[in-house]
Amino acid sequence: MPVNLEIKVRLKSHKNVKTILNSIGAEFMGILKQKDIYYKGKSQLLKLRIQGNKNEFIRYNRDESGKTRWSNYDIIDMQGKKIPEFLQSILTVETIVEKRRELWYFDDTRIHLDTVKGLGQFLELETLVLKKGRKDAEKRFNYMVNTLDLDVKGQIRSSYRTLMLKISKKK
């Protein structure tokens, strides 16, 4: 199961972050339109990510209460025309998250500049654990956090799923 280190923060604008990413030579990978359909899971998060003609079923576990957010995940590519309908026939849909994601990449860290429908603007970092291990991943992760001047104390320790469910409960 792959592992990465994550952080999510709310932003008023992506403008300053993009300026910094350009200045350090981060690679802009493109703009993605994603629809994540979250399903009820026993002890992990389950979602179908629809991105263009690509469908990925993702299962992940993450301790939201720890000092750092290590995430273990599995991804299964799914093919077919009615995957959401198929999954809905066997699983219960909890919520749907639609977002526009600007994807950047630097030193094995994915930087997501997300605009999430109904929630606002966010930045997510996902630093991959590679052959050099967790200590190396933490070093690369901390470099990005410091370079982008992210408010670690103000980080959001939940998924977009949880944020959407909180909004729907208020209605």
Domain ranges of the chain: 3-170
Residue pair 96/25 in contact (Cβ under 8 Å)? The answer is no
Q: What is the DSSP string of 49-106?
A: EEETTEEEEEEEEE-SSSSSEEEEEEEEEE-SS-HHHHHHHHS-EEEEEEEEEEEEEE
Element (H, E) at 163: helix 160-170
Closest CA to 11 of 146, 148, 110, 147: 148
- What pLDDT is attached to residue 48? 95
Residues 6+ apart with CB under 8 A from 118: 164, 167
Q: Cα separation of 37 and 57, whole Å?
A: 9
Closest CA to 142 of 3, 1, 5: 5
- What pLDDT is attached to residue 110? 95
**What is the CATH topology of the domain spanning 3-170?**
Hypothetical Protein Pfu-838710-001 (2.40.320)
Tokens (6 digits) for 51: 């991105």
- What pLDDT is attached to residue 171? 62
For the chain (171 residues), the mean pLDDT of every run of 10, in chain order, is 83 96 97 95 88 92 70 87 93 96 96 97 89 87 95 89 86 62
Residue pair 115/100 in contact (Cβ under 8 Å)? The answer is yes
